[in-house]
Amino acid sequence: MFRLAAILAELLAGAIVISLFVSLFAVPAILLGARSLLGENNPQYSQFLSELERYRMILKGRALLEGDELDISTLNEGNWRTACLVGGYKDYARVINARESVDWKPKTSTFVDEFEMALVYVDVAGIPNVMHFRSGIGPIGQHFERCITKPDTRIQLFHS
């Protein structure tokens, strides 16, 4: 009888340890930082993320210069009419809604965190789309907001 009680006590202690681990580490990671960002399944996500990361590395050693730009000519195979690059502390739905006079209300947060960036665009059918990146061009990307319409295909990063 005492042996059974000892085994049950060990199982209970193990369950408590596992429960504590999940509540201390797994749940906060899911809630705070391990969120899935919109557009990650877009085949061009890694292409534009690489460009933003390239600029982040360049901008560690210098300021933005005229000619620093993001070429989005291939975005959605060229099937877009308006595109905006939005940085930290901005709401990309608000930006594209104002620019395109649409009333886009995604079911997830459209707020871009401090060092994140979002490339939001309206396709030729008038449907808003977004690629929300966990990182952008660094601190200089905070409060960043640049929009272009076709026939322009390059978003200027430098702003005088």
**Which residues does 117 contact at the CB level (< 8 Å), separation at least 6?**
52, 85, 86, 87, 88, 132, 133, 135, 136, 137, 141, 144
What pLDDT does 71 receive? 97
Q: Could you tell me if 135 and 74 lie in one domain?
A: yes
Q: Could you tell me if 64 and 10 lie in one domain?
A: no
What pLDDT does 2 receive? 63
Average pLDDT over residues 21-26: 44
Q: Where are the alpha helices (DSSP H) in the chain?
A: 2-21, 27-32, 45-58, 92-100
Q: Is residue 39 part of a domain?
A: no
- Full residue range of the structural domain in which residue 69 is found: 45-156
Give the pLDDT band (50/70/90) at residue 3. confident
What pLDDT does 52 receive? 96
Q: Is residue 40 part of a domain?
A: no
**Which residues does 60 contact at the CB level (< 8 Å), separation at least 6?**
138
Q: Could you tell me if 29 and 56 lie in one domain?
A: no
Give the pLDDT band (50/70/90) at residue 14. low
Q: Could you tell me if 61 and 114 lie in one domain?
A: yes
Count of the separate structural domains present in the chain:
2
Average pLDDT over residues 44-53: 96
pTM of the predicted model as reported, rounded to 2 decimal places = 0.76
